[in-house]
Chains A and B, each alone.
Chain A
Amino acid sequence: MPPFTDEEVVAAFPEFHVTVPEIGRGNQKVVYRATADAEIALKIMLWDIATAGVDDDNDEEVDEAVERFHREIHGMTSVNCPHVIRVAHGPGTREIGNSSHYWYTEPFLVGGTLKDRLRSGPLPATDVERIANALLTAVQAMWNEGRFVHRDIKPGNIGFLANGEVVLIDLGIALFTEMNPITGSSVAGPGTWQYAAPEQFDIKRLSNMDFRTDQFQIGIVLFEALFGVRPFNGYGAAYAANLRSFDSSLLDDHRVTPGLRRLIPRLLAGSPSERYRRIDAALEDLNGGI
């Protein structure tokens, strides 16, 4: 049970028209649809600030959740890219009922997520190319401006705004390479294993993850958007091994444009060194014509 009621939320945010009940809830956040000058998603941390991060006896999990929240906000505010979700209002703290909570808003995904769209089947190649351009641009911005890796690019984290723009959402497990690791955030383990890159399954001896890890995840997403299925099969160690040998003949299909035919095998290369060192080169491959 959340530490507040829907009515207490409506009362706590008089500047917005908050629609109840909530539209989503995770372990750490609850989300309400709301309206200000445009449709927004109001996100409220479930933890009471009064007990989070101030007490030595407090649960480590709470401290970590609070740190993640701050980093997610940091990510959203440090990158100026139309394809990375931005904070619309906040962040701030607000008394809600008898407790105090972090909150912020972001644009509401009027067009839903890619996961929603894929429920009705694969997308036309032109739509996939548009998504590819947006995701590559987002990854470039996250790395160049914020020095972080999203690590959890999947259809459920790709949304469509009211103006049709594709945006990458949920920076909750992003790896910030220039910050101290928080518990669990620097481990190699993937966010969502079905979309993870091979290096997320093992500890690299000489290097850490970088933006090339996000490229692999984009590769899986684009393949799934084209064909309705993911490109790799199997479970456990066998699955992780399969990730190192993408069969590019799977793209020999009339639905695949020359740009995507060039792009996807590079994104899905087993080693980061065989992916793109410059996102501009990926965009050139994608948009370079026949």
Chain B
Amino acid sequence: MFFLQHGHGKSNKIEEVAATGYLGGVILSPGSEDAPALSATVARCRQLGTRVLMDPQSFIYATNPQGSARFHERHGLDLTDMSWAAPASSLVRHLRLVRSANINVGLEREFIAPAPYNANLIDYWVPTSLQYARTAADEWRGTSVLATLAVDESAFDDWARVSDWLDALTTLDLTGFYLIVNRTGQPYPPIGWEARRLANLLRTIYTLSVLNEYEVLWGYSDLDGILGTAVGADGVAAGWSYGLRQFSIRRYNETRAGGAQPVPRLYIRALMSDIRNNEINDILQTEYGRQLLEPELRGLRPDTLTNPAAQVQHLRALATEVGELESLVDYRDRIDLVQSRIGIALDHFSRLAETGLALEGRYVNRLRSYSEAIDAFRSDVSL
């Protein structure tokens, strides 16, 4: 299912994506809006029949320097004393605060548990994360609990360590996991993953979801979520702004000083990529390129494209990609399809290059890393 990673801002984006029929839910960010605003969003989602979860964003309190979120205090989310050396009473208090923050905005049946950020899988924060998950499962018995796994991407480099971590995670008796992977410092769209790292991440999702039957919700996964869905993720998420389409822990340590207006991009299904508006203009100039665009995009004037319109197009397209992929019940069929589509997209990029078009290299690099990662994943799990 496709989830919207909710930030702040009022518009009808939720309704626009829900209209595709493929919106699985919304993940709220209490750091971005106060309780009345979130309550209003919850009410809108309820009207749409859409699932709503709150990411407690506790991970920002386990970094050095400690991060901050503007509205946490107003939600009563006083988690600043999060520490690997904290007593059990502190951990239980955090869980109660998170539960209260959920209930205050009308969320009473399913919860994302708090957890610290894990910069790696070997330091003292890892057992602390496990303890949060285990205690949440115990304290919140009778409800649906997703444990937070907030992990740096480098943690996936060494499968032996990931495997040890999974051995521990799979002892947890809870509904599933809310996985977010830090990719600090990436532009949008991000550069391609290191293939081995991504393959291990996909194998992690597969191990938790397919083999161990947990619900896995991969937050901030954006286009990577297509691969996540293929290997068994039950939910993947993206938001409207580029900052909500990838998870960066550093975001919570920065003093924002504004910046240039983001360049609008549209998701081109045949290319499995978000193409910049001026590049779409170039593509439209070629016969081959025009054929790659969906019919509704062929009459587009990219120079008039606004960011809100581009954001809605991206989210609707991604929701549809994920929803259609999920219509294949067997994950093996999904992997076959995604791999095939990546190959076709790469071929399109080659053909476009032959016409003399010079598009950003990141598109192809990212698809190549996807392709290599899927090959490695297939080999790892003997598919």
**A binding-site residues for B, Cβ under 8 Å:** 199, 204-207, 210, 248, 265-266, 270-274, 277-278, 281
Contact = CB atoms under 8 A, between A and B. Distances in A.
A210 B168 CA distance: 10
B166 A273 contact: yes
Contacts of A207: 164, 167-168, 171
A114 B164 CA distance: 33
Interface string B161-188: 0011111111100000000000000000
A272 B167 contact: yes
B167 A199 contact: yes
B313 interface: no
Given A206-B127, A248-B382, A272-B170, A277 B212 contact: yes
Given A248-B382, A273-B163, A273-B207, A206 B213 contact: no
B125 to A, nearest CB: 12
13 contacts: A204-B164, A204-B167, A205-B122, A205-B164, A206-B126, A207-B167, A265-B382, A271-B167, A272-B167, A272-B170, A273-B169, A274-B207, A277-B212
Contacts, number: 43
Interface string B139-167: 00000000000000000000000011111
B165 A271 contact: no
Nearest to B172: A277
Contacts of A270: 163
A206 B382 contact: no
Contacts of B213: 277-278, 281
B130 interface: yes
Interface of B: 122, 126-127, 130, 163-171, 207, 211-213, 382
Given A204-B164, A271-B166, A278-B213, 8 more contacts: A204-B167, A207-B171, A248-B382, A271-B167, A272-B167, A274-B211, A277-B211, A277-B212
A278 B382 CA distance: 22
B225 to A, nearest CB: 22
A273 B211 contact: yes
Contacts of A271: 163, 166-167
Most buried by B among A266, A270, A271: A271
Contact of A206 (B164, B207, B211): B164
B234 to A, nearest CB: 16
B186 to A, nearest CB: 29
Contacts of A272: 167, 170
A266 B211 CA distance: 9
B103 to A, nearest CB: 30
B130 A206 contact: yes
B226 to A, nearest CB: 24
